[in-house]
Structure 1
Amino acid sequence: MGSGKHRWKISIYRSTSTPTKHEIRPERPPNEFICPISGSLMADPVIVSTGQTFERACVTACKNLGFTPTLNDGSIPDFSMVIPNLALKTSIFNWAKLSLSFPPKPLELADALKLLESLMAETKQNGEISGELLRRVDENPGSNLLEHSESELTRRQTRFDSGESLSGSFRRTPFVLATRPSCYSSCSSSSEFDLTESGSCVDEGYVSKLRSQHVYEQEEGLVALRKTTRSSVESRVSLCTPRLLSALRSLITSKYTDIQVNSVAILVNLSLEKVNKVKIVRAGFVPPLIDVLRGRCPEAQEHASGALFSLALDDGNKTAIGVLGALQPLVHMLMRSESERARHDAALALYHLSLVQSNRLKLVKFGSVQLLLGMVKLGQMPGRALIILCNLGACNEGRAAMLDAGAVEFLIELLRKGEFDSESTQESCVAALYALGHGGGLRFRGLAKVAGAMDVLKDVIEKSNRERAKEKARRIIELLKAKEEEEEEVDWEKVLETGFQSRAITRPGGQSCRNSTEF
């Protein structure tokens, strides 16, 4: 104890003194410790709705001035909710102590306002930040510490995989999608959670109740745990332990409805935090969630769909969820469930899962292309169905299945009628057509020409209020025009003599892919 106190006193003394030339200190703090706006070490870091971390005063100044910066990755932060980042704050102060630096002081609001006013003066009319802010963010790419954190209550952008086009970059622009299951809603009336008052949470009491032999004690523990994980971000992180997950997993498929519903609802709450997502999948929760989807409890099915959607947001889980067999039950939930919330979350889960090639192939094999096109025809969640079709159209097998199902004619006719429930659905329709043109095959060009695509796409360019829809329409027109030029160079007599076989595409495994043959 004496030596410990002695070392502690020395540590305090050295942390407040001027380092000597013999002392080694880091050249600069880690990137994630730097505020993207102020460019300085954060003293009071907070996470905003879209997952980025900033100095609190900078966020307050942005809100006061109605100013929203655009970061170098194109993302736009949402300041509607602010959560203190206590873990990062502790790391920053520990770094300052170990590097013999003075701890950072919180930025004054007046200074932040002056900084933001100068940045606003440099802002271009199109809303992009120029000059100093971009330079700061480029120098500190790690400052967007939780860029893909799913701690938001509103929306964020999600990107398709990239491909190639005539211009060399066939990029699919992102759809703006919710990142929280619709079965979840915060019970807090405040836009800011103050984690400093939540205290430290331990799992012993909850685990003992969940493992009790008495049903009423299990229910009591689940109700308390559900309430805690619903309202406290810190609790969701600290309580996601192997012991508690093990106890919770055993209750997911309980024969008692209340126990099952509360168990899956708690899992949804825990899955909201990015650091928990991979833990939950590795703890073996996907198979019991699939069992719940196949069960007969609508409320539990809603939560199970929400949990799989939330878990699918993490790239490390996408392949595993598909391999474990969740795709087909999710498709069934999307098609058959009477719950709008369950269908909504199932659709978003399938969208994120279909960003992975192996899952696309499974979905095509299940016949999901025809089912999704049928949903669009019947007006059943057409926007959600179309964005999944966009992903499936990114692979040869999905594109072939869509061409076989008459997707080109159908999508063009849909655009011609213009009977969409929203502009985003129209944009998704154009994006699905855009995905079909990705292969650049003559088959697509022929079908589009017969369906009168040129006139319809020109009409979209003239009347649509969405720049991304207009841009995709322009790209498709460029693709069709390029094919017209290629057609002049095609020796049609030779093509006819070979019976269209010389240009066939071979799928992996040696199978001929006649559906995507260029002819």
Structure 2
Amino acid sequence: MGEEEQTSVGVGEGEEVAEKVEEAETWNQRKQTLILEISSKLIHGDLESKIEAARDIRNLVRKSSTSSSSSKTRSKLGAAGVIPPLVLMLCSPNPDARQVSLLALLNLAVRNERNKVKIVMAGAVPPLVELLKFQNGSLRDLATAAILTLSAAALNKPIIADSGAAPLLVEILSSGSVQGKVDAVTALHNLSTCKENSTTILDATAVRPLINLLKECKKYSKFAEKTTALLEILSNSEEGRTAISNTEGGILTLVETVEDGSLISTQHAVGALLSMCQSCRDKYRELILNEGAVPGLLRLTVDGTAEARERAHTLLDLLRDSPQQKQLASSVLERIVYDIATRVDGADKAAETAKRLLEDMVKRSMEHSMNRIEQRAASCTPSNTQST
């Protein structure tokens, strides 16, 4: 009796699986028919038909039950020729047509590298740049999201960088919605990673809004990582460095990121501070010290990335040359190092860690002094010595 029950159950499960397979095949056939209908409407239909077809694209992608299924749907829609007519709709004087085409293109581009490239090759970037100028918050936010998504594809980055989108994205950092600002930072970060750019992505006008955004966000967030990466790039120019120091709380915000940021954001933040101090120590050294940078930098020499540790060591060497740093009493410095060591390694190992840190600082200070002596000796030629 038990065997008969097991057999009947097995047959029932087999029938259920067969029904699901049949349903899936029927849906795939229906989906292919819908894709052809959507393509036909977009290519041959009137404006109302095009708007309806654009909405159908979004619904069709969303109806796909799995990420694999939705990816295939996007690919099939792209292959069916829906992208060029959707791009043309971006230029329509009808606001609804622009909005639904933007949403459709976004749905086609997400997690689909080929469609991203197809959209840009179809000429989407110039109308998207025009939409970035709109005062209509919804359309501008959608255009910003589209630029962000398309700029993730390596082949698209130089095209978008040369389009004039970057200055408009910088404006959004100050005047856009919360989501618009987040998307604008990510888009600018995407564009900044392209070595083939023939134009400069950022100028000093981006510093103030980036600093303000960094003030407001969690310093260990992905957003902070992208923001500090952009600020480090800007710190490589004199205009950028000046803008950082002139922005209220600019240096302090970078110091706070060194203290509280993720491994990546601390690396970028200390990189920006180091770039400033290396460019003109007399101008920036005291400003950095006045914001209490030393404890965070000492901690970073212990638990930062390899690059961050090296940068922190170099910056500490530069800061120690200042009169203010020399005035730090030995006991005060030891207390700072011990406090950092306690937070990093715990009370049990704090003394050992603090001793190692202090020894390393002394060693580096001596090496720096010896290098300076050797440089002076090398500059003292025999003729100069005799004349003296």
Does TM-score exceed 0.5, indicating one fold? yes
Q: Name the CA distance, whole Å, in 2 between partners of 1:442 and 1:408.
A: 16
1:254 to 92, 96, 100: 92
Other-structure match for 2:363: none
Quick check: 1:274 aligned with 2:109? no
Give the residue type in structure 2 aligned to 1:253: C
Name the structure with the higher helix share.
2
Other-structure match for 2:340: none
Structure 1 residues 393, 408: closer, same or farther in 2, change over 3 A? Answer: farther
Structure 1 residues 198, 456: closer, same or farther in 2, change over 3 A? Answer: farther
Measured after TM superposition, the shift of residue 371 of structure 1 is 3.8
Measured after TM superposition, the shift of residue 373 of structure 1 is 3.0
Identity level (%)? 22
Q: Is the 2:125–2:160 contact (alpha carbons within 8 Å) kept by the matching residues of 1? A: yes
Q: Name the CA distance, whole Å, in 2 between partners of 1:333 and 1:228.
A: 32
Q: Name the CA distance, whole Å, in 1 between partners of 2:285 and 2:307.
A: 15
Query: SS at 1:261's partner residue?
Result: helix
Quick check: 1:264 aligned with 2:102? yes
The higher-RCO structure (CA 8 Å, 6+ apart) is 1
Query: SS at 1:313's partner residue?
Result: coil
Match runs of 1:357-368 below 5 Å: 357=195, 362-365=200-203, 367-368=205-206
Other-structure match for 1:220: 52
Give the residue type in structure 2 aligned to 1:322: A
Q: Name the CA distance, whole Å, in 2 between partners of 1:291 and 1:211.
A: 24
2:42 to 204, 210, 226: 210
Measured after TM superposition, the shift of residue 281 of structure 1 is 1.1
Structure 1 residues 235, 461: closer, same or farther in 2, change over 3 A? Answer: farther
Provide, for residues 338-358 of structure 1, a one-character-per-residue CA deviation record: whole Å limited to 9, x for no partner.
Answer: x22222211111111111356
Other-structure match for 2:313: 478
Match runs of 1:74-93 below 5 Å: none
1:441 to 251, 272, 278: 278
Measured after TM superposition, the shift of residue 376 of structure 1 is 3.8
Q: Name the CA distance, whole Å, in 2 between partners of 1:244 and 1:389.
A: 39
2:269 to 432, 437, 443: 432
Q: Is the 2:141–2:179 contact (alpha carbons within 8 Å) kept by the matching residues of 1? A: yes
Q: Name the CA distance, whole Å, in 2 between partners of 1:419 and 1:341.
A: 26
Match runs of 1:444-483 below 5 Å: 444=281, 447-448=284-285, 451-452=288-289, 456-459=293-296, 462=299, 467-468=303-304, 474-480=309-315, 483=318
Q: Name the CA distance, whole Å, in 1 between partners of 2:229 and 2:160.
A: 20
TM-score normalised by length of structure 2: 0.62
Q: Is the 1:309–1:348 contact (alpha carbons within 8 Å) kept by the matching residues of 2? A: yes
Other-structure match for 1:283: 122
Measured after TM superposition, the shift of residue 324 of structure 1 is 1.7
Give the residue type in structure 2 aligned to 1:443: C
Provide, for residues 184-216 of structure 1, a one-character-per-residue CA deviation record: whole Å limited to 9, x for no partner.
Answer: xxxxxxxxxx99964563654213322455433
Provide, for residues 158-182 of structure 1, a one-character-per-residue CA deviation record: whole Å limited to 9, x for no partner.
Answer: xxxxxxxxxxxxxxxxxxxxxxxxx
TM-score normalised by length of structure 1: 0.48
Bigger Cα Rg: 2
2:242 to 400, 404, 408: 404
Query: SS at 2:78's partner residue?
Result: coil
Provide, for residues 463-489 of structure 1, a one-character-per-residue CA deviation record: whole Å limited to 9, x for no partner.
Answer: 99x954x65653233213555627835
Q: Name the CA distance, whole Å, in 1 between partners of 2:236 and 2:267.
A: 17
Quick check: 1:347 aligned with 2:185? yes
Give the residue type in structure 1 aligned to 2:120: V
Structure 1 residues 256, 332: closer, same or farther in 2, change over 3 A? Answer: same
CA RMSD of aligned residues (A): 4.1
Other-structure match for 1:131: none
Match runs of 1:142-291 below 5 Å: 198-199=28-29, 201=32, 203-212=35-44, 214-230=46-62, 231=64, 232-241=70-79, 243-272=81-110, 273-291=112-130
Other-structure match for 1:332: 171
Give the residue type in structure 2 aligned to 1:219: I
Give the residue type in structure 2 aligned to 1:267: L
Q: Name the CA distance, whole Å, in 2 between partners of 1:432 and 1:418.
A: 6
How many residues align? The count is: 293
Q: Name the CA distance, whole Å, in 2 between partners of 1:329 and 1:360.
A: 18
Structure 1 residues 432, 481: closer, same or farther in 2, change over 3 A? Answer: closer
Match runs of 1:68-79 below 5 Å: none
Quick check: 1:488 aligned with 2:372? yes
Structure 2 unmatched ranges of 5 or more: 1-23, 65-69, 322-367, 380-388
Q: Is the 1:415–1:426 contact (alpha carbons within 8 Å) kept by the matching residues of 2? A: no
Give the residue type in structure 2 aligned to 1:488: R
Q: Name the CA distance, whole Å, in 2 between partners of 1:348 and 1:214.
A: 37
Structure 1 residues 418, 373: closer, same or farther in 2, change over 3 A? Answer: closer
